[in-house]
Amino acid sequence: MKYIDEFNDPALAHRLLDEIRATATRPWALMEVCGGQTHSIIRHGIDQLLPENVELIHGPGCPVCVTPLDVIDKALEIAARPGVIFCSFGDMLRVPGTDRDLFRVKGEGGDVRVVYSPLDALDIARRNPDRQVVFFAIGFETTAPANAMAVHQARRLGLDNFSLLVSHVRVPPAIEAIMTAPGCRVQGFLAAGHVCSVMGTAEYPELAARHRVPIVVTGFEPLDILEGIRRAVHQLERGEHGVDNAYARAVRDQGNQAAMRMIEEVFEVTDRNWRGIGRIPASGWRLTDAFRAHDAEHRFDVTGIRTEEPAVCRAGEVLQGLIKPTECEAFGTACTPRTPLGATMVSSEGACAAYYLYRRMNAPAPQGSRIPQEEMNSVG
């Protein structure tokens, strides 16, 4: 794939870095909203290459991380029921609920299946008319259109055995919540390119003006991120605070109209709890009354869920950019990908997982493994 090389070009990257270095005369703190951007930043070592006065703060944009515990627990309870086929994207399977995860449910006999698209789940429903098929519909604006399409199709095909367990969240209200939170240090945002490719940029000018922050729509390859940082720093140095699209190859200001229409037909805006952060007004979607029959929460009447977060886990502060993962006392000790306390450690896009996986130089053997060094050569 040619573009991967093009957007990793070291010479271009260093030219952008030089420009950022030359432009930044004061300390600036930028938040990359999306977990995919966090992952790319850490994986490519971009934060190590930036000048000291440009700090990246990791945002809440990992859909796996922010799915609230009570919804995870509902998923676990539904998935464990006989007659249910529970379909999910793979990275939800290891996310800890109060006392287990979907892998555990699968191991205990639950029919939990990894799918790559909600339409795969729909196909499973079509082929299993005597079973209840539930798709775990989580994610930001990026996954909402396909999930909406799946339930729309289910209605059209008369697949009464298909339902969604919905926990969709929206980015702009999260930016609002971050900017109004006590202790917020964020001075500019790198907005998530994939989200804007669906929703456009219409919601951002008002946010940027009200909070006096530049918002730069940014992609996910290293050069995309550096260009986003360059433009944000440029605005900050000039005292500007506008919306700038640095991902024009994928994002049009008006977004994807067909996708937005599909979302509007199936979902309506609602308040949502964000794991680790709390309730954010108007920050999510739920199925409209017209599609209530395909709402798994309604169908399975999952009530009486009691949740309990580990007291030591500071994932919420990580998600709000208030601390770095390494500042949490549990990081790398009580909390590892093997024994995650919070979703930020288990999700492939979570900030804690990124730091654990990519930044542990001179690290000891993984926690939970008591394998002596000379015996670690065991798989083949």
Partner 1 sequence: MGHGGGGALSAELIEQVFTPAYGNPTLAALADSAVLDLGGARLAFSTDSYVVRPLFFPGGSLGDLAVNGTVNDLAMSGARPAYLSTAFILEEGVELAVVERVARAVGAAARAADVTVATGDTKVVESGHGDGVYVTTAGVGLVPDGVDIRPQRARPGDAVIVSGPIGLHGVAIMSVREGLEFGGEIASDTAPLAGLVAAMLAVTPDIHVLRDPTRGGLGASLNEIARASGTGVRLRERAIPVPDEVANACGFLGLDPMYVANEGRLVAFVPPEHAEGVLAAMRAHPHGAGAALIGECVADHPGTVVVATGLGGTRVVDLPLGEQLPRIC
Task: Give 187's DSSP letter.
Answer: -
CA 76: distance to chain centroid? 20
Cβ within 8 Å of residue 54, ≥6 positions away: 20, 24, 27, 28, 30, 229, 233
Rg (CA), the chain: 21
Q: How far is the CB of 49 from partner 1 (least distance, A)?
A: 6
3-state secondary structure of 246: coil
Q: Which CB sits closer to partner 1, 307 or 348?
A: 348
- State the Cα–Cα distance between residues 251 and 246, nearest whole angstrom: 9
Task: Give 338's DSSP letter.
Answer: S
Decide if residue 311 touches partner 1 (CB under 8 A): no
Residues 197 to 226: which contact partner 1 by CB under 8 A?
Answer: 222
Q: Which CB sits closer to partner 1, 43 or 249?
A: 43
- The closest of 86, 218, 192 to 140, measured between CA atoms, is 192
Binding mask 84-123 for partner 1 (x = CB under 8 A): -----xxxxxx--------x--xx------x-x-------
- State the Cα–Cα distance between residues 87 and 349, nearest whole angstrom: 20
Decide if residue 59 touches partner 1 (CB under 8 A): no
Contact 198, 255 (CB under 8 A): yes
Q: Which CB sits closer to partner 1, 36 or 255?
A: 36
Q: What are phi and psi of 106, to 5 degrees?
A: -60, -45
How many chain residues bind partner 1 (CB under 8 A)?
A: 64
In the list 43, 210, 261, 279, the residue contacting partner 1 (rule: CB under 8 A) is: 43
Q: Which CB sits closer to partner 1, 140 or 204?
A: 140
Determine the interface stretch with partner 1 among 247-255, 286-294, 298-306, 344-352 (rule: CB under 8 A). Answer: 344-352
Q: Which CB sits closer to partner 1, 248 or 371?
A: 371
Decide if residue 8 touches partner 1 (CB under 8 A): yes
Decide if residue 45 touches partner 1 (CB under 8 A): yes
Bridge partners of 88, per DSSP, are 114
Binding site for partner 1 (CB under 8 A): 1-2, 4, 8, 10, 13-14, 36, 42-49, 63-64, 89-94, 103, 106-107, 114, 116, 138-140, 142-143, 194, 222, 337-338, 347-349, 356-366, 368-371, 373-380
